[in-house]
Structure 1
Amino acid sequence: MTGPLMAYAADQLKERFTVHELWKAEDKAAALAELKDRVRGVAGGGAHIKIDGALFDALPKLEVVSNFGVGYDNVDAAEAGRRGLIVTNTPDVLTDEVADLAIGLLLATVRQLPQVDRYLREGKWLAGAYPLTTSLRKRKIGIVGLGRIGKAVAHRLEAFGVEIAYHGRSRQADVAYRYYPSLVEMAQDVDTLVSVAPGGDSTYRIINAEVLEALGPNGIVVNVGRGTVIDEPALIKALQDKTILSAGLDVFEDEPRVPAELIALDHVVLLPHVGSASVHTREQMGQLLVDNLKSWFDGKGPLTPVVETPWKKA
């Protein structure tokens, strides 16, 4: 195990396997040297230890990496694929939870719910009503990354009667929403961006100053994907200069370190990466991590391999 997992998953792993908690080792290099001929699987949790070529070199008997989370930018999956290793993640089980949170964060940002709560608690209602806010009514929503979670967000947004568009690597034949191959062009035509895009080189800071400028002074950005998708300095400047109206963020570029400039802004909503953070969903994610390892070592292959390490049963 490269990082701590909730007891629900960790206890099951310890019942079935000999588990080495690498993140606890004071001298990790020495621990890896001692384990190099024994470790065949990795349970990856969090960003405590990078799961990359260096770790693969240290564990020559490694066969499979089971990652906790649908995102796996902490794992060099491409390198794993080149070496014939299997990497799995935990899709689907967190889709609804993250989509629910995205809608909640969008509403909280649009209607300034945290700010309104503080207004009441500070006794300011006694002096007068809270100023009117913007509304979700008549907003045009552009979804960045229409994968499983993006589709679930779009499905929920349909109930609000808003216009929906999306940007991604390619047009999807099974959806009726308008597709934009250019993120800037979509930003020009919508006033709200909801990013559910994964991390990685292909999405690094794609929501940049040009996109924010195109979004305009009524624009709102919500991010429940990966913090690296947004150019944070550009976002901070756009919020300070009122180039856009507001932002609701559950993810950041260098977690858990959030820029002081963002925290100082009262017209944004900031959450500590809690998109899937319910007991129910984290237990389901942990169970899928465990089930992937059990299935692999039972000779049945992985349950949810990532695209970089596809699996075909012999």
Structure 2
Amino acid sequence: MPDRPVLWLPRRVSDATVARARQDYDVVLNEADDVSPPERIIEMSAKVDAMMPCHSEIFSADVVAKLDPRLKILANHSVGTDHCDLEALRAKGIAVTNTPDVLSDATAEIAMLLMLGAARRAVEGDRCVRTGAWDFWSPSFMVGKQVSGAKIGIVGMGRVGQAFARKARGFDMEIHYFNRSRLSEADEHGAVYHDTLESLLPEADFLSLHCPATPETRDLLNAETLAKLPAGSIVVNTARGALVDEDALIAALKSGHVSAAGIDCFKVEPGGNPAFADLDNVFMLPHIGSATVRTRDAMGFRALDNLDAFFRGKTPKDLL
């Protein structure tokens, strides 16, 4: 690169990412590692050439309108871009990239953990042993729902959905999926395609969400769609909290129509929905789907690859 662009890292990314970034950029770190309000984002845009935001930094149309012309690119440290008004950013002439591919397996692992934990009553079991309340056993004690051989419905068969399907095959699950378009026969690996969500839902002993959050998918799971699931089904969400009407899911969990849920993302983050905490049949994690050392390094390096290409006058691989 002919010059050293100034790069702002608004969150604490991996040490390996910071070290590599400092080789070619003048790096500005947010040492507090807190969420930057709009005022800080706008202020920093006059001081840097590039930013590497996470989903916690919100680039709404109002924020984008106030960004300084110095800012040239947002190299997102995420796959999802629902925190960015892409149309407004394009109109402003700011390039936007993301980090696909590299976090698919880590996120699929969390989906598998949540599915198994919800199915086998991990929250109740852990509490029982941890509190010293385990003083009884019988054949009817802590009976859960078996994953092996069950039907899994996958909503969104992109990179993460396909990675999850590969892992589900290891449990001999019968895979059904709904996607905007059908995969090739080679990529389906025998999975059953549904061209509507309504067709998929009645088949899903387990339902796992892997689609992006868009205006069209907001509250995709609601009272009406949840009612189409088989009684006793289990819901897993490692995609985005906006996909689920949380009040409707809570009602379905309380009624037993949905027997359990595994949740890694919520409408309000951080914090989640405290109403879920009252339910023993909910296994929750704090949005850590991609939180492995290998994946965090890979995400940071993918974002830097995009920045390097941009500042060398090339088209970034993941330009949106």
TM-score range (shorter-chain normalised) is 0.7 to 0.9
State the number of aligned residues. Answer: 305
What SS is found at the alignment partner of 1:266? Answer: coil
Question: Which stretch shifts more, 253-262 or 42-51?
Answer: 42-51
Q: Which residue of 2 aligns with 1:40?
A: 49
Return closer, same or farther for 1:205/1:8 CA change in 2, 3 Å cut-off.
same
1:30 Cα shift?
A: 8.2
- 2:293 pairs, out of 255, 266, 279, with 279
Unaligned runs of 5+ in 1: 307-314
Answering whether residue 20 of structure 2 is matched by residue 9 of structure 1, we say no
Distance 1:267 1:56, change over 3 A: same
Aligned to 1:290: 304
Task: Provide the C-alpha distance between the structure 2 equivalents of 1:168 and 1:75, rounded to a whole number of angstroms.
Answer: 23
1:32 positional shift: 4.2
Which residue matches 2:5? none
- For 2:179 and 2:45, locate their aligned partners in 1 and report how far apart those are by CA, in whole Å: 42
How far the C-alpha of 1:2 sits from its partner, in A, is 6.3
In 2 relative to 1, CA 135–228 (structure 1 residues): closer, same or farther, beyond 3 Å?
A: same
| Corresponding residue of 2:179 | 168
Inter-partner Cα distance in structure 2 for 1:2 and 1:296:
17
User: Does the C-alpha gap of structure 1 residues 25 and 133 become closer, same or farther in structure 2, counting only changes over 3 Å?
Assistant: closer
- 1:53-72 superposed Cα distances (whole Å, 9 cap, x missing partner): 53354222333210001111
How do residues 1-314 of structure 1 correspond to structure 2 at under 5 angstroms? 1=8, 3-6=10-13, 7-20=15-28, 29=39, 32=42, 36=46, 39-50=48-59, 52=61, 54-55=63-64, 57-129=66-138, 130-174=141-185, 175=188, 176-306=190-320
Q: TM-score, normalised by structure 2?
A: 0.86
Residue 182 of structure 1: how far off its partner (Å):
2.0
Q: Kindly report the root-mean-square deviation, in angstroms, between the aligned alpha carbons of the 2 structures.
A: 2.5
Query: What displacement does 1:20 show?
Result: 4.4
Distance 1:277 1:44 in 2: 16
> TM-score, normalising length from structure 1?
0.88
Percent identity of paired positions between Structure 1 and Structure 2: 32
3-state SS of 2:236 partner = strand
User: How far apart are the structure 1 equivalents of 2:51 and 2:155?
Assistant: 31
Q: Which amino acid aligns with 1:95?
A: S
2:123 and 2:314 mapped to 1: Cα distance? 48
- Note if contact 2:51-2:75 (Cα within 8 Å) is conserved in structure 1: yes
Unaligned runs of 5+ in 2: 1-7
Q: Do the aligned partners of residues 284 and 56 (structure 1) sit closer, same or farther apart at CA in structure 2, a change above 3 Å counting?
A: farther
Once the two structures are TM-superposed, the CA of residue 29 in structure 1 deviates from its matched residue by 4.5
Q: Distance in 2 between matches of 1:249 and 1:28?
A: 28
